[in-house]
């Protein structure tokens, strides 16, 4: 595989079931591991703040990348603002955190402000959302029949 290329396969509960990958992709969506933290280390320097690897949903419906509020609090990300956002549950106000989100599979880092959304409180398996701002610099192909997403930066 070329550098910066990933195949995203959401693994099903029963991989032997007919169409299991397609069903898993439909129910859970394309998922990548991301690394979240506050101060990314410079090359050759030690990490100076905690970071956490969590599952993230590739979410073409989200304008921005978002981080689960509980993860942001666990890492001690600084709250820099409050902002309104809307989704299926209507408009709500959320904490805005300062930090970074790295997608190791494609070598992409997004740094800046992230809404602290309530993914875990809503029973979601993901702890971050990869939104259109991060996806705008990628090429992505969604194969619903096979249940595979390919993404490259």
Neighbours of 65 (CB within 10 A): 25
Strand partners, 150: 7, 141
Specify the DSSP class assigned to residue 135: H
Please tell me the predicted confidence (pLDDT) of residue 1: 40
Please tell me the predicted confidence (pLDDT) of residue 3: 45
The pLDDT tens digits along the chain (153 residues) read 444 556 676 655 666 666 777 777 787 888 899 999 987 656 666 666 789 999 999 999 999 999 999 999 999 999 999 998 877 677 789 999 999 999 998 989 999 999 999 999 989 999 999 999 999 989 988 888 878 888 888
Please tell me the predicted confidence (pLDDT) of residue 12: 58
Cβ–Cβ under 8 Å, residues 70 and 117:
no
Q: Which CATH architecture has domain 5-35+50-152?
A: Beta Barrel (2.40)
Note the pTM of the prediction, 2 decimals. Answer: 0.83
Please tell me the predicted confidence (pLDDT) of residue 6: 62
Neighbours of 88 (CB within 10 A): 6
Domain edges within the chain: 5-35+50-152
Cα–Cα distances in Å, from 121 out to 63, 87, 94, 125?
A: 21, 15, 13, 10
Please tell me the predicted confidence (pLDDT) of residue 10: 64
């Amino acid at each position: 595989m070329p550098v910066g290329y990933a195949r995203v396969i959401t693994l099903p509960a029963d991989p032997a079931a007919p169409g299991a990958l397609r069903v898993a992709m439909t129910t859970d969506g394309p998922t990548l591991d991301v690394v979240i933290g506050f101060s990314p280390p410079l090359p050759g320097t030690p990490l100076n703040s905690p970071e956490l690897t969590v599952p993230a949903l590739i979410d073409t419906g989200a304008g921005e990348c978002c981080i689960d509020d509980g993860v942001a609090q666990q890492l001690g990300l600084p709250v820099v603002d409050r902002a309104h956002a809307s989704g299926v549950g209507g408009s709500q106000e959320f904490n805005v955190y300062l930090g970074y989100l790295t997608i190791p599979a494609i070598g992409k880092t997004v740094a800046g402000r992230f809404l602290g959304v309530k993914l875990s409180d809503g029973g979601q398996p993901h702890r971050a959302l990869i939104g259109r701002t991060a996806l705008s610099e990628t090429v992505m192909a969604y194969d619903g029949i096979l249940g595979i997403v390919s993404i490259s930066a």
